[in-house]
A and B are shown apart, each in its own frame.
Chain A
Amino acid sequence: MTIDAWLDAAVKDAEARGLKELRPLLEALAQATRALRVADFNAVFVPPDANPRPPADRDA
């Protein structure tokens, strides 16, 4: 689903539920979703080891 389509559907749904005040919040969320989707890690993400070990012992 594109962000524009999602935002349009979300705003309509919110208005149908009597929550017109949600529009600016949904627009802010859409902005955050855009930033999340264009992050370059989406293209290169490799799942880490399912059971990562803690770092080696450290001393301060």
Chain B
Amino acid sequence: MPAHVPSIEEFATGLRQRKISALEMTDECLKRISADDARLNAFILVMADEARAQAREADAELAAGRDRGALHGVPISIKDLFDIRGTATTAASRVRAGHVASRDAAAIAYLRHAGAVLIGKTNLHEFAFGTTSEESAFGPVRNPLDPARSPGGSSGGSAASVAAGMALATLGTDTGGSIRIPAAACGIVGLKPTLGELSTDGVVPLSTTLDHVGPLTRTVRDAWHMFEALQGREAGRPLTVPPLAGLRFAIPRKYFCDLLDDDVRAACDRSMDALTRAGARVDEAVIPHADVTAPVYMHISFAEAAAYHARLLETVPELYTPPVRLRLEMARYVLGEDYVRAMNGRAVLTGEVDAALAGYVAILLPTMPIPAPRIGEHSVGVGGQMLPVRALTLRLTQLFNVTGHPALSLPCGTTRDGLPVGLPLVGARHHTDVLLRTALAVESVLSY
């Protein structure tokens, strides 16, 4: 791991004090990519020349008095699911060979407008259809904290690039947990905003009604700056920190805490203690149909993924990695009547999460029931049972894709082996800004 990687805010301060230039920061990131990416496999495409040109332009603009705000000159990596004009959007699949994007995705256009430096495109689970970033046409991504382990997924290369200091922030997508899971596995912050808040235009879809766009960063403040820029707010609103004393949090222990690794449970309990010591109130909450989340999620996401992939599965099935192809083929068998049942369940679950949040600033729960799994590990023992890694990693995150509530995972401690544990906060729909302010207050009392 790099000795010290600045946050966006630290870099921005240094940039404006002329202690560091955008080009120097970009070169530093490129140096780390050269040193470590052969081991981590975080990048599919390193855009060194383009990034240096953008960094020089950012420096020249600043010298001329044009300041684009917090992301000015900041090296940012991009999950290779977003179109960047003139480059291939591979989705980590051989199926996309030969593709070249003719225009930028909406999120990329916003980042360019904010003065960001696009340093490269990151590896992922093929077509974002998995949570470990192992099944990729470009090989598995490795966790910078322990290369024998997965960085989570599907935005695994994105998370690894930030954790390893190869970029100061990254852009990911989240359909069932694909921002929050890798953020937790790599010990960084991951934000999934409210459904529909950030445009998915120009992003290869997985499940059109569950897909979200969002940032992964080193700090909550950095997530705020990315969130603001991705909405086109050039100046950015100030991020104020509310006092923790008096804030009320809800924790739905039933279902969400039923199956947890002992070290994950201990880290979460320590976080709850820290919050209550700081004056916050943590009450029990109930989401009555939480135990039907996985079937609801599966029938929606599978049917929507199958609709996108059906033609490709008929014409070039051999170009998919075998496990992803099989899951997509399985997805084609979901019946229309069950998709409708799942959409009905989605409305019920949305109402239940709204109700659980009534009177509370956020819901708290662990991001993943387990720490980052070992590469090649298909099942893990928890609570005396061996359970599939895919089901376990999605277990606590997918509900909020179904309901659309904003959710942010931040590091809250480590296991005895030193692996990070993520604590997500879930906020009210359409109030992602409140969630970020709350997360900033929570971040201030968690030691990690």
By a beta-carbon cutoff of 8 Å, the part of chain A in contact with chain B is 1, 6, 10, 13-14, 19, 21-22, 25-26, 29, 32-33, 35-37, 39, 41-42, 45, 47-48, 54-55, 57-60
Option from A13, A21, A47, A54 in Cβ contact (under 8 Å) with B326? A21
Option from A29, A45, A59 in Cβ contact (under 8 Å) with B348? A45
Which chain B residues border A25 with CB–CB below 8 Å? 326-327, 330
Cβ of A12 to closest chain B Cβ, rounded Å: 11
Cβ of B127 to closest chain A Cβ, rounded Å: 17
A-B contact pairs, 9 of them (CB 8 A): A32-B294, A33-B299, A36-B342, A41-B348, A55-B428, A55-B430, A60-B247, A60-B361, A60-B434
Asked if B344 is at the interface (CB within 8 A of a chain A CB), the reply is: yes
Q: Which 8 A-B pairs have CB atoms at the shortest separation, nearest pair first?
A: A54-B430, A36-B295, A25-B330, A60-B437, A32-B295, A60-B242, A41-B348, A45-B344
Smallest CB-CB separation from A55: which chain B residue? B428
Which chain A residues border B247 with CB–CB below 8 Å? 60
B347 close to A36 (CB less than 8 A):
no
Option from A21, A29, A54, A60 in Cβ contact (under 8 Å) with B441? A60
Compute how far the CA of A22 lies from the CA of B430 in the bound complex, rounded to whole angstroms.
Answer: 40
Asked if B438 is at the interface (CB within 8 A of a chain A CB), the reply is: yes
Which chain A residues border B327 with CB–CB below 8 Å? 25
Cβ of B28 to closest chain A Cβ, rounded Å: 35
A59 close to B326 (CB less than 8 A):
no
- The listed residue with most B CB atoms (<10 A of its CB), out of A39, A48, A59, is A39
Option from B295, B344, B354 in Cβ contact (under 8 Å) with A55? B354
Option from A36, A54, A57, A59 in Cβ contact (under 8 Å) with B296? A36
A29 close to B428 (CB less than 8 A):
no
Which chain B residues border A10 with CB–CB below 8 Å? 333
Smallest CB-CB separation from B357: which chain A residue? A55
Compute how far the CA of A58 lies from the CA of B431 in the bound complex, rounded to whole angstroms.
Answer: 7
Cβ of A45 to closest chain B Cβ, rounded Å: 4
Encode B406-448 as 1/0 by CB contact (under 8 A) with A: 0000000000000000000000111100110110010000000
Option from A14, A21, A26, A36 in Cβ contact (under 8 Å) with B345? A36
Compute how far the CA of A21 lies from the CA of B437 in the bound complex, rounded to whole angstroms.
Answer: 48
Which chain B residues border A48 with CB–CB below 8 Å? 347, 350-351
Cβ of A44 to closest chain B Cβ, rounded Å: 9
Compute how far the CA of A33 lies from the CA of B438 in the bound complex, rounded to whole angstroms.
Answer: 37
Which chain A residues border B441 with CB–CB below 8 Å? 60
Asked if B262 is at the interface (CB within 8 A of a chain A CB), the reply is: no
Compute how far the CA of A47 lies from the CA of B350 in the bound complex, rounded to whole angstroms.
Answer: 12
Asked if B316 is at the interface (CB within 8 A of a chain A CB), the reply is: no
Q: A14-B333, A39-B295 are in contact. List 7 more A-B contacts (CB 8 A).
A: A25-B330, A29-B298, A36-B345, A39-B341, A55-B354, A60-B361, A60-B435
Asked if B329 is at the interface (CB within 8 A of a chain A CB), the reply is: yes
Cβ of B354 to closest chain A Cβ, rounded Å: 7
Within 8 A of A (CB), among B132-148: none
**Given A10-B333, A55-B428, A60-B437, is A36 in contact with B338 using a C-beta cutoff of 8 Å?**
yes
B329 close to A59 (CB less than 8 A):
no
Asked if B292 is at the interface (CB within 8 A of a chain A CB), the reply is: yes
Encode B382-404 as 1/0 by CB contact (under 8 A) with A: 00000000000000000000000
A41 close to B333 (CB less than 8 A):
no
**Given A35-B295, A39-B289, A54-B429, is A26 in contact with B333 using a C-beta cutoff of 8 Å?**
yes
